[in-house]
Amino acid sequence: MQNSVVLVTGAAAGIGAACIAAFNAAGWNCVGVDRTYPSTAARLASPTVLCCGGDVSRGPDWQRWLDETYQQYGRLDAVINNAGIAGPICDFLEYPDDAFDAVMAVNARGVFLGTKYSAARMIAAGTTGAIVNIASNAGLAGSPRIVGYSASKHAVIGITKSAAKAFATRNVRVNAICPAPTDTAMVRNLEQYSSAEQVRTALTAGTPMGRYGEPAEIAAAALFLSSAAASFITGAIVPVDGGSVA
Ligand SMILES: NC(=O)c1ccc[n+]([C@@H]2O[C@H](COP(=O)([O-])OP(=O)(O)OC[C@H]3O[C@@H](n4cnc5c(N)ncnc54)[C@H](O)[C@@H]3O)[C@@H](O)[C@H]2O)c1
């Protein structure tokens, strides 16, 4: 896949950073976007990684990132809609209204915009493309203490399946990955609620392999789904979860 180009959201940390590393190692040029990056596009890390700041829930930011991508590289082959936030953890009845909107804005609206605007550019360019949306195992079953997060990840699966059908004859494949708890800041932030050991035990209780996923293990699945080897796979919801849904 030499000279192929991927855009990864939430690229500054965790699974997004692992995606940049995996695609770069496989010879792809990468556009990393993150709300923590400066708004002016810059090659912060390497000649083959362009970094752009902004917010996935804002349509104009998507247009700017896609403009930058085509200006810099002249093509776009894959998009990894990875940026996400956890939101609060609390009893369903205590979940704040505003927090629900904030989580849906990033996790659901952000993936909708990323899928829509990216697919539009790929279709207009007449090229093949792959979109990989990072959902969660919380998108496959109810999670009563993180209702906003769980709702947003169910939405990601609905967006993925709908887009897969919408673009099936237009050469754009759309798939989703459902990770189980993975060793990133998102999980480590939960350690404020109790000890690291207690958090790890609770979060891996439903994972037969008995451990967190590694960001590189999620990135490897994203790379496969973006590659020509996955050319007949679209609309798939792929658990990468140590057997959690087995
Ligand atoms: N870590 C896990 O256990 C786990 C499990 C299942 C699914 N996921 C999903 O994987 C994805 C990545 O999670 P992670 O654990 O790497 O998280 P993380 O918190 O380590 O990193 C998320 C990155 O996204 C960026 N970001 C957040 N909101 C943004 C916005 N509005 N616009 C642009 N960038 C934004 C952050 O700045 C950060 O760099 C998320 O969608 C998350 O829901 C994570």
Amino acid identity of 133?
Answer: N
Residue 24 Cα, ligand 1 centroid: separation in angstroms?
19
Give yes or no for residue 1 having a pLDDT over 60: no
Q: Residue 191: its pLDDT value, please?
A: 81
Ligand 1 center from residue 186 Cα (angstroms): 7
pLDDT tens string 6-51: 999 999 999 999 999 999 999 999 999 999 998 877 776 677 899 9
Q: Which of 213, 237, 222 is nearest to 19 (CA)?
A: 222
d(CA 174, CA 225): 9
Q: HEC profile for the chain?
A: CCCCEEEEECCCCHHHHHHHHHHHHCCCEEEEEECCCCCCCEEEEECCEEEEECCCCCHHHHHHHHHHHHHHHCCCCEEEECCCCCCCCCCHHHCCHHHHHHHHHHHHHHHHHHHHHHHHHHHHHCCCEEEEEECCHHHCCCCCCCHHHHHHHHHHHHHHHHHHHHCCCCCEEEEEEEECCECCHHHHHHHHCCCHHHHHHHHCCCCCCCCCECHHHHHHHHHHHHCHHHCCCCCCEEEECCCCCC
Most ligand 1 atoms within 8 A of CB, residue of 34, 191, 217 to mutate: 34
Please identify every residue annotated as catalytic.
Answer: 149
Compute the average pLDDT of residues 207-227.
98
136 lines ligand 1 (CB under 6 A): yes
Q: Is 85 in the pocket of ligand 1 (CB under 6 A)?
A: yes
pLDDT tens by residue, 166-208: 999 999 999 999 999 999 999 998 887 788 889 899 899 999 9
Mean pLDDT, the chain, whole residue set: 95
Q: State how beta strands 42-46 and 5-9 pair.
A: unpaired
Report the separation in Å between the CA atom of 126 and the middle of ligand 1, taken as the mean of its atom positions: 31
Q: Does domain 5-182+216-234 have CATH number 3.10.20.30?
A: no
Where do the domains of the chain lie?
A: 5-182+216-234
Ligand 1 atom with the smallest distance to the CA of 86 is: 43
The pLDDT of residue 195: 85
Q: Looking at ligand 1, which atom is closest to the CA of residue 12?
A: 39
Identify the band that residue 54 occupies on the pLDDT scale cut at 50, 70 and 90: very high
Instruction: Work out whether the CA dihedral 215, 218, 222, 224 comes out positive or negative.
Output: positive
What are residue 197's phi and psi, to 5 degrees?
A: -65, -45
The model carries a pTM of 0.97
Task: Say if residues 15 and 215 touch (Cβ distance below 8 Å).
Answer: yes
In one letter, which amino acid is 183? D
